[in-house]
Amino acid sequence: MTDTDTDTDTATATTQLDIERIKQDFPLLSKGFHGESIVYLDSAASSQRPSCVIDAMSGYYNYSHANVHRGVYKLAEEADRLYENARITAGKFVGAPDPAREIVFTKNATEAINLIAYSWGMHRLNEGDVVVVTEIEHHANLVPWIMLHKERGVELRVIPMRDDYLLDLDNLEEMVDGAKLVACTLMSNVLGTIPPFKKIADAAHSAGAIVVADGAQLVPHAHVDVKELGCDFLAFSGHKMLGPTGVGVLWGKAELLDSMPPFMGGGGMILDVKFEGIVPAEIPTRFEAGTPPIAEAVGLTAAIEYLDNIGMNNICRHDAELTAYTIDSLKDTFGRDITIMGPDITEDRGGVISLALKDIHPHDLAQVLDESNVCIRAGHHCAKPLMRRLGTSATARASFYLYNDTSDADRLIEALSKAASIFG
């Protein structure tokens, strides 16, 4: 949370969210899908967005659009101002010490992590260098490092998951010993597990490694501050936090970013170009080749303002309460027929519930739930190594956000009961 918001939103003073009021800001949720009320439980894949985000983007396109950088006319200056304001807003949202230099806009969190892997990894990592990841990562924070293993001969070490769905950190010092980079999620998109990131980051730093945080799941749902986390890079995505698709954010420590070569080449990222070579621009524009996602950045600003207005601690508490309510109801209703693949305790987990009901296949479950207009996700959730660890090829996953309430959870359980009776 940013300094300016501490008076309305602190760890001690949280207020109950008025979900009925919040749903009104989301046309899909207040008016329905083809006129039928919908229970949207797939925010971990992508959230819905409030009208104010769409309005901000359409206002920009209607009245303020020009390309950014070096425009001399007032309209272009306005577009520049809006784009740079988005950078500051996104930076402050995650506690960046120097947002104007440390925030790079990408197209999503995946591209942000690829930027680190290509710009930092390809130049700093050599044969035999160690990169540490965890068993619960999303492919976005896994595949780029596996590709480095292939291309640079980098050795990959994997922090395993325990049977209680938390990370096994008993041998943390050994795991990070000699590592050059440690990449870890702030929250699992499958299990909801929130690893003790600070502990991992401290151990990694003691071993001389840099630390990458995949914030795609946690940044939309909780107060995240890069200084408190102790990470060197943080990646997150606009569309999972009420913003538009097509914009992601990379925060990196200024001195690290400054030491890195460009990721992609093109317009906007250079100081000078000769046929013999280029002089890259300063950070962060060095990493933003071509016309950036301007309207999307404007939409992200509106999304962050909306979230700040409600308060990240309020959202976090709401998620936790709704998750606890849902898990209790699931266990009450289905007893031993339900398996929840995620931590039992609420402190170390977010609002993501992967479940198995009897032996009903997740796809069949999602299909039956859709009949009741309950949207959940079924599949491997871009975490195939984790699926293997769980001994399955897919899970059914319900995930919550600030616009869900206990009535949504009740409809989920009602629809699950219907599935149980069909597949009895």
Closest distance between another protein and the C-beta of residue 190, in Å? 14
DSSP 182-223: EEEESS-TTT-B---HHHHHHHHHHTT-EEEEE-TTTTTTS-
* Size of the residue set binding another protein (CB under 8 A): 16
Contact 284, 104 (CB under 8 A): yes
Subset of 343-362 contacting another protein (CB under 8 A): 361-362
Assess 225 for contact with another protein (CB under 8 A): no
Query: CB-wise, 330 or 369, nearer to another protein?
Result: 369
Closest distance between another protein and the C-beta of residue 360, in Å? 8
Q: Lay out the site mask for another protein across 366-395 (x = CB under 8 A, - = otherwise).
A: -xx-xx------xxx------x-----xx-
The torsion angles phi and psi of 3, rounded to 5 degrees, stand at: -55, -40
Closest distance between another protein and the C-beta of residue 37, in Å? 14
Active site residue 382: yes
Assess 59 for contact with another protein (CB under 8 A): no
Side by side, which strands form the sheet with 155-159?
103-106, 248-252, 233-237, 210-214, 179-185, 130-134, 155-159
Which one of residues 225, 321, 364, 410 is an interface residue with another protein (CB under 8 A)?
364
Other beta carbons within 10 angstroms of residue 243's beta carbon come to 32
Query: CB-wise, 3 or 359, nearer to another protein?
Result: 359
For residue 137 the two structure tokens come to 């990562």
Other beta carbons within 10 angstroms of residue 306's beta carbon come to 21
Query: CB-wise, 244 or 362, nearer to another protein?
Result: 362
Closest distance between another protein and the C-beta of residue 394, in Å? 5
Buried b (16+ CB within 10 A) or exposed e, 106-129: bbbbbbbbbbbbbbbbeeebeeeb
Closest distance between another protein and the C-beta of residue 368, in Å? 7
Catalytic pick from 184, 231, 375, 382? Answer: 382
Q: How many residues does the chain have?
A: 424
Assess 422 for contact with another protein (CB under 8 A): yes
Subset of 393-412 contacting another protein (CB under 8 A): 393-394
Which H helix or E strand runs over 318?
helix 312-334
Closest distance between another protein and the C-beta of residue 280, in Å? 39
Assess 126 for contact with another protein (CB under 8 A): no
Query: CB-wise, 218 or 383, nearer to another protein?
Result: 383
Query: 65: which strand partners?
Result: none
CB neighbours of 169 closer than 8 A, spacing ≥ 6? Answer: 159, 196, 199, 200
Assess 363 for contact with another protein (CB under 8 A): yes
Contact 194, 320 (CB under 8 A): no
Which H helix or E strand runs over 307?
helix 294-310
The residues of the shown chain that bind another protein, judged by CB under 8 A, are 361-364, 367-368, 370-371, 378-380, 387, 393-394, 422-423
Active site residues: 382
